[in-house]
Structure 1
Amino acid sequence: MALTKEQTQHFYHKLLNMQKELSGEKKKTQSMTEEVGELSNGVDNHMADHGTLVTDRMTDQTVKEIDRELLEEVNHALQKIKDGTYGICEKTGQDIPYERLEAVPYARMTVEAQADVEDDLETDAPSFEREFHQQVKDLSNKETIDQKSSQTYEILDREQDSN
């Protein structure tokens, strides 16, 4: 069932609020040399202070990148509203359920289509990426966690035996 005008307006305003939040004034970060300079001018600075600084900088950069990508998705969804294609799955052409759009207003696909795309990406990924994803699944799966039968434990055992 296609979205009503009221529902589309609801999502339009929701997306505009997200756009405003994501493109709003961001905290200006100091340059790395300024921050390191402040630390090196002090007395009894510890290497951990520098490590914390680098970790904080990496975290800030990651958050900014995620915000940038999310802003692109929000802008894409707003354009789809203008084009009259909002709420239609880009892969199947089916209507995206209202509940999904309420949870993820910038969703491009139905849950099923998104899962298919992600499965395809995982299948097409190089073997080391597939192995990594399997290890993450093993470590987060309640059935395989703490079991020596998981792929992750087998890899760790092989690495330990080779040392």
Structure 2
Amino acid sequence: MALTNEQTQHLYHKLLDMQKVLSGEKKETESMTEEVGELSNGVDNHMADHGTLVTDRMTDQTVREIDRELLEEVNHALQKMKEGTYGVCEKTGQDIPYERLEAVPYARMTVEEQADMEDDLEADAPSYERAFHEQVKDLSNKETIDQKSSQTYEILDREQDSK
């Protein structure tokens, strides 16, 4: 079922709000030499201070990259609205349900097609990435938390025994 004009207008304004937030003024970070300079001049420097600065810098860069990618998706959705193709799955041509667009206004596919695509990407991932994802799932599984029978604990035990 195609979106009503009211639904489209609501989603349009939601996308504009997202665009405004994502393209808003970002805090400029000092150069790394300026940040570290203060620590480098002192006698009581601690390696953790330097590590904290590097971690903070990496976190800021990651957040900016995620914001940039999200802004691209929002702009793409706004362009699709102009073209009259908004709310249509790019893979199947089916209408994307309003509830999905309300939750993810920049969605390009239906939930089912998105899940299929993510499954395909995961299947094509190198074996070490698949193993990592399995371990993370294992660690976050409420049934295996605090149990030493999980796959992750078994791997850690093997590595510990080999040393």
TM-score by length of 2: 0.93
Matched, 1:109 2:115: no
Q: Distance in 1 between matches of 2:118 and 2:144?
A: 22
Counterpart CA distance in 2 for 1:157 and 1:137 is: 18
Matched, 1:51 2:17: no
Distance of 1:92 and 1:144 partners within structure 2: 38
Letter in 2 for 1:131: A
Please report how far the alpha carbon of residue 147 of structure 1 lies from its aligned counterpart in structure 2 after TM superposition: 3.3
Query: What does residue 34 of structure 2 align with?
Result: 34
- The residue correspondences of 1:13-162 to structure 2 (distance < 5 A) are 13-162=13-162
Query: Matches of 2:51 and 2:84 in 1, distance apart?
Result: 49
**Consecutive unaligned residues in structure 1, runs of 5 or more:** none
Greater alpha carbon shift after TM alignment, 104-113 vs 148-157: 148-157
Measured after TM superposition, the shift of residue 43 of structure 1 is 5.0
Partners of 2:148 and 2:127 lie apart in 1 by 22
Q: How many residues align?
A: 163
Letter aligned with residue 45 of structure 2? N
In the alignment, structure 2 segments of 5+ residues that lack a partner are none
Pairwise CA distance, 1:48: 1.6
- Given the two structures, how large is their TM-score scaled by the length of structure 1? 0.93
Query: CA distance change for structure 1 residues 57 and 111 in 2, over 3 Å: closer, same or farther?
Result: same
Query: Cα deviation per residue 1:17-56 (whole Å; 9 max; x = unaligned)?
Result: 1111111111111000111112223452322211111111
The secondary structure found in structure 1 opposite 2:2 is coil
Q: Which amino acid aligns with 2:50?
A: H
